[in-house]
């Protein structure tokens, strides 16, 4: 599928509140066939989603320690996760320490997932993921571990206000760029 046709289809799924604010852009290199073009998402004429751009507004993590030490990262801990730590330690750890240990475990798992998602995204092709998005259901795109699929689903008109509000806890576990588009969509409603 050509870029112009794909762009048109993606824009047809764009939420009416974000129409005109969010743009899909592409550059191509006509005389360099071995060099792939770049695709990115712009919000209010500013490039927001372009991993190779150093001026991007979104933080891209380089190491697991950066994720673990990020004070802005909010990780909700469930009672089941605390009980799992209690079972592993055979109940010998004080209650307040259980929460710290459960949070540490969850941050470690989340850090690995975020770095894996970032790595696969940097190697992926925007056009391939966009084609996948156009063929998947909105639920599959929302639940995917792929960052770009999450973004395309969040700004989709098929996702309503109630569904967005119900996602507030799960969004905290996503990459900062997904959180950015979630906040953008909520503010546009």
pLDDT tens figures, 101-119: 888 888 888 777 777 766 6
131: tokens are 């084609």
Task: Please say whether the beta carbons of 7 and 41 come within 8 A.
Answer: no
pLDDT at 182 over 90: yes
13 and 51 share one domain: yes
Please report which confidence band the pLDDT of residue 155 belongs to, taking 50, 70 and 90 as the band edges. Answer: very high
46 and 77 share one domain: no
Q: Of 93, 114, 135, which marks where a domain is finished?
A: 114
Closest-CA residue to 178 (of 49, 26, 30): 49
The distance in angstroms from the start CA to the end CA of the chain is 32
Domain assignment of residue 148, given as a range = 3-57+125-187
Q: Considering the chain, what percentage of its residues have pLDDT values greater than 70?
A: 81
130 and 159 share one domain: yes
Question: What pLDDT shows up at residue 154?
Answer: 92
Please report which confidence band the pLDDT of residue 55 belongs to, taking 50, 70 and 90 as the band edges. Answer: very low
In eight-state DSSP terms, residue 14 is B
Residues in the chain: 189
Q: Considering the entire predicted model, what is its pTM?
A: 0.66
119 inside domain: no
149 and 182 share one domain: yes
pLDDT at 26 over 50: yes
pLDDT at 56 over 80: no
129 and 53 share one domain: yes
Please report which confidence band the pLDDT of residue 90 belongs to, taking 50, 70 and 90 as the band edges. Answer: confident
Tell me the torsion sign for CA atoms 176, 180, 182, 186.
positive
**Burial of 138: CB neighbours in 10 Å, binned 0-12, 13-18, 19+:** middle
User: What pairs with residue 19 in β-bridges?
Assistant: 22
18 inside domain: yes
Question: What pLDDT shows up at residue 58?
Answer: 56
Q: Domains in the chain: how many in total? A: 2
Q: Please, which residues have CB within 8 angstroms of residue 27's CB and are 6 or more apart in sequence? A: 37, 38
Buried b (16+ CB within 10 A) or exposed e, 47-75: bbbbeeeeebebebbeeeeebeeeeebee
Residue with tokens 């990262």: 73
Question: What pLDDT shows up at residue 137?
Answer: 92
164: tokens are 């967005």
């Amino acid at each position: 599928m050509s870029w112009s046709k794909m762009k048109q289809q993606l824009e047809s799924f764009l939420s009416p509140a974000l129409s005109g604010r969010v743009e899909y852009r592409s550059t191509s290199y006509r005389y360099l066939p071995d060099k792939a073009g770049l695709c990115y998402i712009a919000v209010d004429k500013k490039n927001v989603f372009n991993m190779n751009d150093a001026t991007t507004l979104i933080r891209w993590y380089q190491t697991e320690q950066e994720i673990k030490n990020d004070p802005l990262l909010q990780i909700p801990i469930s009672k089941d996760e605390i009980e799992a730590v209690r079972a592993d330690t055979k109940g010998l750890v004080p209650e307040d320490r259980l929460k710290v240990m459960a949070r540490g475990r969850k941050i470690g798992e989340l850090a690995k997932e975020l770095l894996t998602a970032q790595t696969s995204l940097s190697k992926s092709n925007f056009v391939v993921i966009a084609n996948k998005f156009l063929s998947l259901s909105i639920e599959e795109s929302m639940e995917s571990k792929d960052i770009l699929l999450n973004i395309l689903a969040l700004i989709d008109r098929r996702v309503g206000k109630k569904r967005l509000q119900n996602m507030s806890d799960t969004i905290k576990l996503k990459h900062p760029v997904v959180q950015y588009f979630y906040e953008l969509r909520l503010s546009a409603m």
